[in-house]
């Protein structure tokens, strides 16, 4: 790891402040390589895994380069899944918060009109899945004329999921004068082809050919018959005492079955699979991130690309059918330089797949004995005292950022001809408050929101109800900042 700091890139004070609040102390390797290239305006092809800090690697330099006054979107990020789209949007918004950068996420299974309304406002960054992004382009909700940055995130996953033609069709519509960034864990032929066709003299950045994650994570397996899996799982839980754990199953049905068993035993847990409604999935991920429950029981598809920090354990309740899934699964732990543990429960029949996985990752996974009754009894007592009690909510990473910001709702919007300038004018008429204190102003149909930075927030919240906006006093109140 390098000893460089974010200051070395000559970033703005606003961006440095966001990074500080997010506790990004120094650049990760991928950030160290990518940020200067993008700041120079070069195309980049980056071979890296999730968990390497790649989202910030593209979001930081892009935030520095955006023109705030520009009305049409300047950045398009395409991602394979809805969850990833939401997470990238969140990360981008956090990094660009003090620069007043606005981001929107567009993805299927959410009413298109809600997204249309968002796109109609000034948004600088649009993050979307290929299908829904195409829909918005066709309906002219998304104007591509001023796109200057294109990011293809997890390109290999988009290929696997059959989105590559849609991606290519979108790329063809974009202005040629742009910076293109492609991030992918692997570089299959089709992805190389996309790079060759749509990128100009790209800088190729490859981070450690070997899979560093796999080596950093303690891995072992237990051979166990299917009928005994749940009781063995409990012995693992009592001896390992995971603080936060993802349990992987191969099918939705298995997820549901394990969820019922876990709940019956009184564990705090929730399920995540593709059959769940979109909002429920997002809520679940958010709840897990905030530490509302210890165990997330998931299928591969639902968990791909999740940015969840501090997962202490991954348990494969079933051996994955694809080698790559194993790498993705265990990559949920041991993130951002932390230690992680990955345990696999394998039946005799599944051992064949596990050996294939070992060959694929070029790392041998040792078998361990099932914990003894004595170990379990000792661990169980401690676990029940600390862990089985209701988990304490973990503060969200963005919370430190949000504490710096006061969000205020004004009960009047476009229908009353409210414009951002009216709100800006009223706020800056307050003594001691300047335009620099004001963040994103969001005028919706019947109400408006404004973010105010630092100490000015309280002053504005107190004084604004006494000031005429559009010729009259408005109902004004502070609201909670939601991250999605
Ligand atoms: P990603 O590879 O984008 O999935 O990022 C993995 C995780 O690392 C995210 O949850 C980020 O919040 C976190 N992260 C990214 N950059 C840094 C950094 N420089 N320092 C600490 N954490 C980081």
pLDDT tens column, 291-318: 889 899 999 876 665 667 678 899 999 9
Specify the pLDDT at position 188: 92
Please say whether the beta carbons of 298 and 272 come within 8 A: yes
Residues touching ligand 1 (Cβ under 6 Å) are 24-25, 27-28, 31, 50-56, 307, 309, 335-336
DSSP string for residues in 396-436: PTTHHHHHTEEEEEES--GGGT--HHHHHHHHHTSTT--GG
Radius of gyration of the chain measured on its C-alpha atoms: 24
Give the number of other CB atoms < 10 A from CB of residue 295: 24
Instruction: Tell me if 213-385 shares its fold with 404-479.
Output: no
Inform me whether the pLDDT recorded for 28 exceeds 50. Answer: yes
Q: pTM, whole model, 2 decimals?
A: 0.71
CA 336 – ligand 1 centroid, Å: 6
Q: Which ligand 1 atom is at minimum distance from the Cα of 27?
A: 19
CA of 58 to the centre of ligand 1 (A): 12
Ligand 1 center–CA 56 separation, angstroms: 7
Most confident of the following: 165-174, 240-249, 401-410, 457-466: 165-174
Give tens-digit pLDDT for 98-109.
Answer: 999 999 999 998
Which letter does DSSP use for residue 60 in this model?
H
CA of 57 to the centre of ligand 1 (A): 9
CA of 24 to the centre of ligand 1 (A): 7
Asked if 434 contacts 428 with a C-beta cutoff of 8 angstroms, the reply is yes
Nearest CA to ligand 1 atom 10: 307
Reported confidence tier of residue 209, pLDDT bands at 50, 70, 90: very low
Q: For 333-359, what is each residue's pLDDT tens digit?
A: 876 666 789 999 999 999 999 999 988
Asked if residue 428 lies in contact with residue 467, where contact means CB atoms within 8 angstroms, the answer is no
- Mean pLDDT of all residues belonging to the chain: 89
What does the angle CA 215 – CA 338 – CA 27 come to, to the nearest 5 degrees? 100
Closest residue CA from atom 4 of ligand 1:
51
82-95 vs 13-21: helix crossing angle, rounded to 10? 120
Residue 91: predicted pLDDT = 94
Q: What is the residue with the minimal CA distance to atom 6 of ligand 1?
A: 51
Classify domain 213-385 at the CATH topology level: Rossmann fold (3.40.50)
Report the nearest atom of ligand 1 relative to the CA of 48: 2
Q: At what angle do helices 13-21 and 54-65 cross, to 10 degrees?
A: 150
Smallest CA-to-CA distance from 141 within 166, 102, 114, 165 is with 114
Whole-number pLDDT of residue 346: 96
pLDDT at site 1: 43
Q: Cα separation of 88 and 110, whole Å? A: 17
**Residue 356 vs residues 61, 249, 329, 351, 359: alpha-carbon distances, Å:** 40, 18, 16, 9, 5
Strands (E), 56-146: 75-78, 103-106, 125-128
Q: Kindly indicate the confidence band of residue 193, based on its pLDDT and cuts at 50, 70 and 90.
A: very high
Among the listed residues 408, 415, 451, the one whose alpha carbon sits nearest the alpha carbon of residue 96: 451
Could you tell me which residue, 283 or 163, shows the higher pLDDT?
163
Q: Name the residue with the closest Cα to ligand 1, atom 20.
A: 24
Q: Is 256 left (phi over 0), alpha (psi -120 to 50) or beta?
A: alpha
Q: Enumerate the H helices of 25-81 as residue ranges.
A: 29-39, 54-65
Per the model's pLDDT, the better-predicted residue between 173 and 332 turns out to be 173
Q: Identify the bridge partners of residue 242 per DSSP, sorted by sequence position.
A: none
Residues 441, 122: Cα–Cα separation, whole Å: 10
Give the model's pLDDT for residue 285. 87
More confident residue, 299 or 275: 299
The residue whose C-alpha atom lies closest to atom 22 belonging to ligand 1 is 24
404-479: CATH architecture: 2-Layer Sandwich (3.30)
The pick from 53, 89, 400 for probing ligand 1's pocket by mutation, whose C-beta has the most ligand atoms within 8 angstroms, reads 53
Least confident segment among 129-138, 213-222, 288-297, 320-329 = 213-222
For strands 125-128 and 75-78, give the pairing: parallel
More confident site: 209 or 289: 289
Architecture of domain 6-206: 3-Layer(aba) Sandwich (3.40)
Distance CA 51, CA 30 (A): 10
pLDDT confidence of residue 290: 82
pLDDT score, position 2: 46
Question: How close is the Cα of 390 to the center of ligand 1, in Å?
Answer: 28
pLDDT, tens digit, for every residue of 110-162?
Answer: 899 999 999 988 899 999 999 999 999 999 999 999 999 999 999 999 998 89
Full 3-state SS string of 316-349: ECCCCCCHHHHHHHHCCCCCCCCCEEEEEEECCC
> Residue ranges of the domains in the chain?
6-206, 213-385, 404-479
Kindly compute the dihedral angle of the four CA atoms of residues 54, 285, 281, 233, in this order, to the nearest 10 degrees. Answer: 110
For residue 24, the ligand 1 atom closest to its alpha carbon is 20
pLDDT of residue 390: 60
Please give the residue that has the higher pLDDT: either 242 or 383: 242
Residue 387 has a pLDDT of 62
Query: Which of 2, 29, 56, 340 most suits a substitution to test ligand 1, by most atoms within 8 Å of the C-beta?
Result: 56
Note the pLDDT of residue 94: 94
What is the C-alpha to C-alpha distance for residues 395 and 364, in angstroms, rounded to an integer? 37
- Residue 268 C-alpha to ligand 1 middle, in angstroms? 27
Question: Whose CA is closest to atom 5 on ligand 1?
Answer: 53
> pLDDT above 90 covers what percent of the chain?
61
284 pLDDT above the threshold of 70: yes
Say how many Å lie between the CA of residue 328 and the centre of ligand 1.
Answer: 16
Q: What is the pLDDT of residue 462?
A: 92
């Amino acid at each position: 790891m390098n000893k460089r700091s974010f200051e070395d890139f000559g970033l703005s004070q606003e961006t440095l402040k966001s990074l500080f609040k997010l506790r990004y102390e120094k650049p990760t390797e991928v950030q160290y390589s990518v940020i200067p290239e993008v700041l120079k305006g070069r195309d980049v092809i980056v071979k890296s895994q999730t968990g390497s800090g790649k989202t910030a690697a593209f979001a930081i330099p892009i935030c520095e380069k955006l023109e705030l006054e520009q009305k049409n979107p300047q950045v398009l990020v395409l991602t394979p899944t809805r969850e990833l789209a939401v997470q990238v949007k969140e990360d981008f918004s956090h990094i660009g918060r003090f620069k007043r950068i606005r981001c929107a996420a567009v993805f299927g299974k959410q009413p298109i009109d809600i997204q249309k309304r968002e796109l109609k406002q000034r948004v600088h960054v649009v993050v979307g899945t290929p299908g829904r992004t195409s829909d918005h382009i066709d309906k002219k909700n998304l104007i591509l004329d001023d796109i200057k940055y294109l990011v293809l995130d997890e390109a290999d996953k988009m290929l696997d999921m059959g989105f590559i033609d849609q991606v290519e069709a979108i790329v063809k519509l974009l202005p040629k004068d742009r910076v293109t960034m492609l991030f992918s864990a692997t570089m299959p032929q089709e992805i190389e082809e996309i790079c060759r066709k749509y990128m100009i003299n790209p800088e190729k950045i490859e981070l450690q050919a070997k899979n560093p994650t796999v080596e950093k994570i303690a891995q072992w397996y237990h051979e166990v018959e299917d009928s005994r899996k749940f009781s063995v799982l409990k012995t693992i839980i009592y001896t390992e005492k995971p603080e936060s754990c993802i349990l992987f199953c191969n099918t939705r049905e298995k997820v549901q079955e394990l969820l019922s068993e876990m709940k019956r035993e009184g564990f705090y847990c929730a399920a995540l699979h593709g059959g769940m409604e979109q909002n429920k999935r997002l809520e679940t991920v958010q709840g897990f991130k905030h530490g509302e429950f210890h165990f997330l029981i998931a299928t591969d598809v639902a968990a791909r690309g999740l940015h969840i920090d501090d997962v202490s354990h991954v348990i494969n309740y079933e051996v994955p059918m694809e080698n790559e899934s194993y790498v993705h699964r265990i990559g949920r732990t041991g993130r951002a330089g932390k230690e992680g543990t990955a345990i696999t429960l394998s039946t005799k029949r599944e051992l064949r797949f596990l050996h294939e996985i070992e060959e694929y990752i070029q790392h041998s996974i040792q078998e361990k004995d099932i914990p003894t009754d004595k170990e379990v009894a000792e661990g169980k007592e401690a676990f029940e005292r600390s862990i089985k009690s209701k988990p304490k909510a973990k503060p969200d990473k963005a919370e430190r950022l949000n504490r710096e910001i006061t969000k205020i709702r004004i009960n009047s919007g476009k229908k009353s001809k409210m414009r951002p300038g009216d709100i800006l004018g009223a706020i800056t008429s307050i003594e001691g408050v300047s335009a620099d204190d004001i963040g994103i102003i969001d005028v919706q149909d019947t109400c408006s929101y404004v973010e105010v930075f630092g100490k000015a927030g309280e002053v504005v919240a107190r004084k604004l109800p006494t000031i005429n906006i559009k010729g009259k006093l408005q109902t004004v109140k502070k609201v909670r900042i939601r991250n999605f």
